[in-house]
Amino acid sequence: MATKLTSRADDYAQRYNDLVKQADLAENSSVRWCMVIKPYWYAIWENIKDVLDAMFKATWHQNAYFPLFIPKSFFSKEANHVEWFAKECAVVTHYRLKNWENWEGIVVDPEAKLEEELIVRPTSETIIWDSYRNWITSHRDLPLLINQRANVVRWEMRTRLFLRSAEFQWQEWHTAHATAEEADEEARKMLEVYSDFVKNFMGIYHYKGEKPEHEKFAWAVKTYTFEPMMQDFKALQAWTSHNLWQNFAKAFDVKFTNKNNELEYVYATSWWVSTRLIWGLIMAHSDDNWLVLPPALAPIHLVIVPIAKTEEDKQEVLNALQPCLDTLKQRKLTIDSKFLGAYQIPYKVKIDDDNQKTPGWKFNEWELKGVPLRIAVWKRDLEKWEVELFRRDTMEKKFVKLENLSEEIEKLLKEIQENIYLKHSEFTKAHTYKADSYDELKEKVEKWFVLAHWDWTKETAMKVQDELKATIRCLPFDGEIQEGIDPVSWKKSARRVIYAKSY
Amino acid sequence: MATKLTSRADDYAQRYNDLVKQADLAENSSVRWCMVIKPYWYAIWENIKDVLDAMFKATWHQNAYFPLFIPKSFFSKEANHVEWFAKECAVVTHYRLKNWENWEGIVVDPEAKLEEELIVRPTSETIIWDSYRNWITSHRDLPLLINQRANVVRWEMRTRLFLRSAEFQWQEWHTAHATAEEADEEARKMLEVYSDFVKNFMGIYHYKGEKPEHEKFAWAVKTYTFEPMMQDFKALQAWTSHNLWQNFAKAFDVKFTNKNNELEYVYATSWWVSTRLIWGLIMAHSDDNWLVLPPALAPIHLVIVPIAKTEEDKQEVLNALQPCLDTLKQRKLTIDSKFLGAYQIPYKVKIDDDNQKTPGWKFNEWELKGVPLRIAVWKRDLEKWEVELFRRDTMEKKFVKLENLSEEIEKLLKEIQENIYLKHSEFTKAHTYKADSYDELKEKVEKWFVLAHWDWTKETAMKVQDELKATIRCLPFDGEIQEGIDPVSWKKSARRVIYAKSY
């Protein structure tokens, strides 16, 4: 039975941890700061992966796999690189264990020391670009559009296990192009692809835009981002894509012969997706009854709880539902997407006929796991040819005639998917505010995304960060671009940007 | 352009390496004994994974994910375990790098030494069963049917990079059951599931059976296996499943309350699938023109090479094929499987209209990559409303009228899938021999799977292994079971077993 969920106002981090544990998504492992991803979480992650994979294949990207280990010298090559990511990482120094004499345990064999230490990848650009150097010689080899799904390890000190464990799953794309324009087009296109996914599958509203100069990835000339608002009004930076210009190619010495037969450095982009996405999915939609999952990514669409005293009654109940289940098996949940068209997902139905648990226990269990629809069916309702249908997002119940059941389920799943997005978009819009004075910015940034003018200086941005603990999340693509006055510095501003608190 | 393929007779290991490199499947990396898996190999592996995943879900298994690292003490607990797998493995001793003063490189920070070393998993039972201990308390928690897809690392000395690299991808299943019977049923069922996959998707003929006592996994009471024959007449042990009885549960102290309310150790099974599968797929079917891929797992089913002098002609050629492509888009390749029923795979078509390469180069490229079907289309053939259709398995060409094209493609892909299996099964059967004397066993085991009587002693098996370099691959399930005389020891034998050379 669920314990009380920490309220949204109280402690948002604790609330997330509660959700993860109670919904049986993940747990702590015996390895410090590593977690066990349990089947329900893993199923959501697989659904995310499947849709993204289809999107990336639809845009001509390919998957490949590079080694887990990176020679230490690869990091030395590029001191800059180390500054950025890689100081806190797992270092492999030995390659053998041996039995300890006179004792029944084992020790690391001191004679099996590696000549050069290997680093467990915190990210893979060094080793991937090491390969690209051999793969790319001519413009005919370009573009090279490669994705890797992998586990990476970062040993930073952390405070919240489930938000980012030391080891985490991610996907990293590293593309190479013949021209600067093509690379920028790729980085912007992938922002759109990803935005399509986040809107239509995750049901999350967000602002797309560019990072200001001082917030972009050190190697990039442009960093594109989108920023959704969580329920505590903070921005979650869930995704960025980078136009890296020739910076990677210069660091890793990757040149190609262009169409004019001249030797030139390759243009690159990169972007990443990690299990942090799941964090966004959980926190954007969950309510006081725990998880709410959009049907497009839910491991189970519909749970059926037959309520009967005898095995015969249970069978009768299930038999009555069979025509509906047969119909659903023939049909698909269709999600409309810009890049995938009408994406089809088989309906996933779970029949929970476990005799050891009470109906009340089951209702609670599937509610807190966010299953979009539930059918509870008593034998007495069958006499009226109807069942009770419950939708998780609104917590509404209604009775539906058996003959209309499959149609109603299909209709409701579409409706729930849309409603979840609508709710999140209304919430975000209601908490987006145009501020024109510093006092207004100060007050509103606690609970709003604040659109304010900015004088384009790091100095001003840092002042806001120091005083208000808020940062410029992006220069949004949408909305009017008008000149004005920066409310912090009183200097001229070319356009408004979005200030917000963040994780 | 392809260099000459090492002949099958010459050097089978070299032949495999040639195939991997020439077909652009994988390459050596800068990390010793680690390889880069290139997109074409990765696509085959993803196809394998998708089908297996569907099969395992159809039999109610779930995916989850456990940490990459295992505390050293977990290995110490079970010395037996270390004897079996884990001596040669990657050991993480530190968790931080730092800049080296006075020099632009980096070093491992000596102050960042882990209190307890972590081992990069060579296999995961220790950490998985560590979790199971908390998950299982009652018979109501059973069965627990969990699969993990992961990378594992083993640092053994090796001779062939692409057969098994230090890091490799695999899937490992660890199941827990309330009774011994249920565990044995699971181990046997999974052999059938896997056999279904290997026969109907990989097109590989094989003998199913049980391993003799001295060849089984140390922790198992039964090890089931199947053994396909490669083209050099050796057996490839591509897969085994183990009924582990209560051995794991005792080692990891996992007990449950059974239906009689008694505390009992859990019964377990385990099995693995690794990228070694790809080795089998490549070596079972490849011919002197390099790769031959069964359509069920091929990354590309059909490649279209338009041959035209001008862009307009090329467009005309492609336009003529459009109705066929439109039809294929609506339809699916159907593979019949015992556990999946009619499994449907979208047709995967590649149009190779690269102007920089000649038709001859393209033909060669797609032949050596084993693409099942190729359409070459000249403008002059279009005047007769026909195109040239080439099938890779038989290397036959024929002209097909445009109006029959999609139908012919669908028919041929089914036929190729069946033909590949048929060819492999005929090859294996033609090289399976019943021997009744030691001389016959000695002669035939060079190029045959030899069915011979065995007296059930390790001593006899070892004698054959020493003298003939052949081992007992399995006690086959199929075929008559008759008593006889062991041709090595002249003692009584209960049944024939299969002797063969192997990898």
Q: What is the pLDDT of residues B341-356, one digit of tens each?
A: 999 999 999 999 988 8
Distance between CA atoms of residues B380 and B363, nearest Å:
19
Tell me how close the Cα of B383 comes to any Cα of chain A, in angstroms: 33
Q: State yes or no: pLDDT of B214 exceeds 70.
A: yes
* Banded model confidence at residue A9, pLDDT cuts 50, 70, 90: low
Under 8 Å between Cβ of B381 and B388:
yes
Hey, are the CB atoms on A92 and B92 less than 8 Å from each other? yes
Predicted pLDDT at A5: 62
Contacts with B46 from chain A: Cβ below 8 Å: 63
Task: Report CB contact under 8 Å: B34, A68.
Answer: yes
Two structure tokens written together for B283: 């070596």
pLDDT tens for B150-162 read 999 998 776 677 8
Q: Which residue has the tokens 């001793």?
A: B93
Judge: B67–A169 Cβ closer than 8 Å, yes or no: no
pLDDT in tens, B488-502: 999 999 999 999 999
d(CA B228, CA B431): 12
CA A456 to chain centre: 30
**pLDDT given at position B84:** 55
Q: Is the ipTM of this complex over 0.90?
A: yes
- Cross-chain Cβ contact A105/B151 below 8 Å: no
| Closest A-chain CA to B46 | A63
- Domains B302-428 and B432-500 alike in fold: no
Residues in B touching A104 (Cβ below 8 Å) = 76, 79
Range with lowest mean pLDDT among A187-201, B217-231, B386-400, B455-469: B217-231
For β-strands A492-493 and B386-391, DSSP reports them as unpaired
- Is the per-residue pLDDT at B5 higher than 70? no
Q: What is the average pLDDT across B236-250?
A: 90
CA distance A97 to chain B (A): 5
Cα distances (angstroms) measured from residue B284 to each of A80, B230, B233, B235: 48, 5, 10, 11
Tell which of B97, B140, B141, B170 to mutate to test the A interface (max A CBs under 10 Å).
B97
Q: What is the pLDDT of residues A341-365, one digit of tens each?
A: 999 999 999 999 988 899 999 999 9
Determine whether B477 is exposed, middle or buried from the number of CB atoms within 10 Å of its CB (0-12, 13-18, 19+): middle
* Interchain contact, A97 vs B119, CB within 8 Å: yes
The more confidently predicted of residues B164 and B55 is B55
Of the candidates B91, B104, B106, the beta carbon closest to that of A93 is on B91
Q: With CB atoms and an 8 Å threshold, state whether A31 touches B146.
A: no
Distance from CA of A242 to the nearest CA of B (A): 23
CB atoms within 10 A of CB A26: 23
Whether B91 sits inside 8 A of A96 (CB atoms) is yes
Q: Report CA torsion sign: A351, A354, A355, A360.
A: negative
Residues of A in contact with B69 (CB under 8 A): 31, 34, 90, 167
Average pLDDT estimate for B179-206: 96
| Cβ within 8 Å, pair A67-B29 | yes
Q: Which of A184, A248, A177 is nearest to A210 (CA)?
A: A184
- What is the tens place of the pLDDT at every residue in A64-104? 999 999 999 888 765 555 555 557 899 999 999 887 766 66
CA–CA distance from A35 to each of A158, A165, A166, B119 (Å)?
A: 13, 7, 8, 16
Q: Does the pLDDT value for residue B7 go beyond 70?
A: no
Between chain A and chain B, how many beta carbons pairs sit less than 8 Å apart? 192
CA distance A40 to chain B (A): 8
- Name the average pLDDT for chain A: 92
Residues of A in Cβ contact (< 8 Å) with B26: none
pLDDT at B80 over 60: no
Q: pLDDT at position B79, please? A: 53
Smallest CA–CA distance from A63 into chain B, residue: B39
Rounded to the nearest angstrom, the minimum Cα separation between A199 and chain B is 26
Question: Domain B12-66+123-285 falls in which CATH fold?
Answer: BirA Bifunctional Protein; domain 2 (3.30.930)
Q: In the beta sheet, which residues pair with residue B376?
A: B305, B388
Given this model, what pLDDT does residue B162 score?
80
Distance between CA atoms of B100 and A79, rounded to whole angstroms?
Answer: 10
Find residue B153's DSSP bridge partners.
Answer: B167
**How much is the average pLDDT of B91-101?**
87
- Contact residues, chain A, for B146 at CB < 8 Å: 39
- Say yes or no for a CB contact (<8 Å) between B34 and A86: no
Q: Do B131 and A90 touch (CB under 8 A)?
A: no
Amino acid at the residue A59:
T
Q: What is the pLDDT of residue B10?
A: 63
Distance (Å) from the alpha carbon of A132 to chain B's nearest alpha carbon: 11
The whole-angstrom distance between B468's CA and the closest CA on chain A is 33
Fold topology of A302-428: Rossmann fold (3.40.50)
- Which pLDDT score is estimated for A379? 85
Tens-place pLDDT, residues A111-170: 999 999 999 999 999 899 999 999 999 999 999 999 999 999 998 776 677 877 899 999
Residue B2 scores a pLDDT above 50: no
Structure confidence by residue, pLDDT tens digits, B402-418? 999 999 999 999 999 99
Query: Which of B21, B57, B72, B76 to mutate: most A Cβ within 10 Å?
Result: B76
DSSP string of B393-427, one letter each residue = TTTEEEEEEGGGHHHHHHHHHHHHHHHHHHHHHHH
The DSSP result for B301-367, as a single string, is SEEEEEE-SSHHHHHHHHHHHHHHHHHHHH-EEEEEETTTEEEEEE--EEE---TTS-HHHHHHHHH
Could A106 and B43 be called an inter-chain contact, meaning their C-beta atoms sit closer than 8 Å? no
Contact A39 B62 (CB under 8 A): yes
In this complex, do B91 and A90 lie within 8 Å of one another by their Cβ atoms?
Answer: no
* pLDDT for A251: 87
Percent of chain A beyond pLDDT 70?
Answer: 95
Question: Would the CB atoms of A96 and B89 count as touching at under 8 Å?
Answer: yes
Higher pLDDT, B98 or A452: A452
> pLDDT value at position A279?
87
Domain ranges of chain A: 12-68+121-285, 302-428, 432-500
Taking CA–CA distances from B355, the nearest residue in chain A reads A140
Q: Where in B58-96 does DSSP place strands (E)? A: 62-63, 69-71, 91-94
Give the pLDDT band (50/70/90) at residue B73: confident
Alpha-helix runs per DSSP H in A331-437:
359-368, 379-382, 405-430
Structure tokens at A502: 């963040």
The model carries a pTM of 0.94
Residue B390 CA to residue B412 CA, distance in Å, equals: 10
pLDDT of residue A2: 47
Mutation target among B38, B57, B69 for the A interface, most CBs of A within 10 A: B69
How far is the C-alpha of B232 from the C-alpha of A503, rounded, in Å? 59
Query: What dotted CATH number matches B432-500?
Result: 3.30.110.30
What does the pLDDT look like over A56-67, one tens digit per residue?
A: 999 999 999 999
Please name the residue that has the structure tokens 């991808």. Answer: B169
The answer to whether B30 touches A66, Cβ cutoff 8 Å, is no
Q: What is the pLDDT of residue A107?
A: 87
CB contact under 8 A, B86 and A105: no
Chain segment A236-282, per-residue pLDDT in tens: 887 889 999 999 899 889 999 999 999 999 999 999 888 778 889 99
Residue in B closest to A57 by C-alpha: B43
How far away is chain A from the Cα of B146, in angstroms, using its nearest Cα? Answer: 8
Among the partner-chain residues A27, A87, A356, the one whose CB lies closest to the CB of B98 is A87
Residue A183 phi/psi, 5-degree rounding, is: -65, -45
State the average pLDDT for chain B. Answer: 92
Interface with B, mutate which of A28, A38, A68 (most B CBs under 10 A): A68
pLDDT for position B1 = 41
**Burial level of A289, CB count in 10 A (0-12/13-18/19+)?**
middle
DSSP A502: B
Name the residue among B31, B87, B95 with its Cβ closest to that of A98: B87
On chain A, the residues whose CB falls within 8 A of the CB of B88 are 95-96
Using DSSP's 3-state secondary structure scheme, residue A417 falls into helix
| pLDDT (average), residues B170-192 | 96
Task: Specify the CATH number of the domain A12-68+121-285.
Answer: 3.30.930.10
Closest CA to A502 of A271, A279, A243: A279
